[in-house]
Amino acid sequence: MANQQDSKIENFAFDYLKNYYTQQHTVANILIGQGEKTKRGSVADGMLAFKKATGEIFVANISMEQSQRLTGLLVNYKKNGLSKLRLLTPLLLAALCFALGKSMDNILVMLIAPVVVAPIGFLLHTHFLKKYLNHQVETLLNNVKQVPADEQWIGLSISSLVFRNNPLAKIVLDMCRDKGIGLITVGQRSKVVLMQRPQNKPSRHSDYLRYYDSEANIRRAIDENHVLRVA
């Protein structure tokens, strides 16, 4: 069995996606690039480019820079759920209400307010924690969307089992679907799992190569039907 060090998404993503697009488009010549810079300053961790049967250039990219942060969120939620600190919120609010009522010599504030305020505080704390997690996930996925391509992917070094019975994982998959991002994972068994297919969003102007610094070199390699990896 491969160890955790070997089971990194970057060691498997390119071969998997090359096979994926070979089957999808029946092409043999797929160029693979890493660290491709765009003219707007963003960077594609991985890029695959090829000419379709129609003669159009197709570009796919995969983001792996976000992998560690998103994986950390998913694993932590799977193990611990929401922060346990929120359980202290109702106790703290109840104690404050009791102390306030005692200082005011008001029995209603001492006994009634904690019963009302404590659960409300717990619900609000839970709501804002969920909202914060959603914001973190959306920010990471929006970073993926910054790199132009016909199809965009994110790759995670994580077991697909982490996605089972994990509410945050469902949020991640739903957001990926809504944003048109594909998601693949690789766990300790070195098996790539397709969790979400990307949506194809063709460029309105020519093709997506026009956004990359190495546009001319990639076009030349594709036109000359070279089978190579561009760095």
pLDDT tens by residue, 35-45: 999 998 889 99
If we measure between CA atoms, which residue out of 80, 21, 71, 81 comes closest to residue 186?
71
50 torsion bin: left (phi>0), alpha (psi -120 to 50), beta (else): beta
User: 45-59, 104-118, 165-179: which range is least confident on average?
Assistant: 104-118
Q: Give Cα 26 distance to the centre of its chain.
A: 28
Please report which helix (H) or strand (E) contains residue 124, including its range.
helix 107-145
Sign of CA dihedral 20, 24, 30, 33: negative
Q: How far apart are CA 79 and CA 81, in angstroms?
A: 6
Burial of 190-201, coded b for 16+ CB within 10 Å and e otherwise, reads: eebbebbbbeee
Annotated domain spans of the chain: 12-77+132-230, 79-131
Q: How high is the pLDDT of residue 49?
A: 94
Amino acid at 126: T
Q: Which residue has the higher pLDDT, 85 or 169?
A: 169
Q: Which two tokens stand for residue 124?
A: 């609000």
pLDDT tens by residue, 84-140: 766 777 677 777 777 777 777 777 776 776 677 777 777 887 888 889 999 999 999
Whether the Cβ atoms of residue 128 and residue 39 lie closer than 8 Å to each other: no
